[in-house]
Amino acid sequence: MIRKALILQGWYQKPDSNWYPWLKEELENCGFTVYLPDLPTMHTDLPDMKKQLAFIEKLITIDKDTVIFGHSLGCLLGMRLAEKHSFDKLFLIAGWDFNDLSAEHRLFWKTSIHHNAIKRHVKNIYCISSDNDPYVTAFMAEEMSKRFGGKFILIKSAGHFTEKYKISVIPQLLSYL
């Protein structure tokens, strides 16, 4: 069995920023093959989900031995993958599952999230939030975890889990691998 992990960056984030390199190294130390791609169009004013899905599906075969970590807009991408593929675990860090009405994210919301399909495909879903995230409240993340039948994890004073909030590690994730 080859365990794989896919880390999906947030909007306007780089693979070498925030906690992504730390998590990649930790996962490799645990024996995972880790994919931390720089997602196409993620650095534009109009990220394109279809282009990102096609890129990921060429990069990695998602199967029962795969764990996916999504951050912010990367969570939406992780959920869209979970609508189509069965895999081991899904970590949604500073994510949301409701229709986003912002013009910049419109290519991610042509359809609503299919919660039932995701629950069928991924048995272990973790919704991670902070008590001071300016974009995604802890209440929103906790409600999302209920819709998925997942586990809600609150991390104090982590903001949106970016370098702006001095977040370069999230050690709480490791206990759920």
Neighbours of 56 (CB within 10 A): 22
Q: Which domains does the chain have, with CATH numbers?
A: 4-176 (3.40.50.1820)
Looking at residue 101, what is its pLDDT? Answer: 72
Neighbours of 24 (CB within 10 A): 19
Q: In what order do the strands lie in the sheet with 33-35?
A: 33-35, 4-8, 66-71, 89-93, 124-130, 151-155
Three-class DSSP category at 2:
coil
| Closest CA relative to residue 90, chosen from 60, 111, 120 | 120
Looking at residue 99, what is its pLDDT? Answer: 84
Query: What is the distance, to the nearest Å, from the Cα of residue 9 to the centroid of all Cα atoms in its chain?
Result: 7
Looking at residue 100, what is its pLDDT? Answer: 81
Looking at residue 74, what is its pLDDT? Answer: 97
Looking at residue 7, what is its pLDDT? Answer: 98
Distance CA 13, CA 4 (A): 22
Which segments in the chain show pLDDT lower than 50? none
Residue 160 identity: H
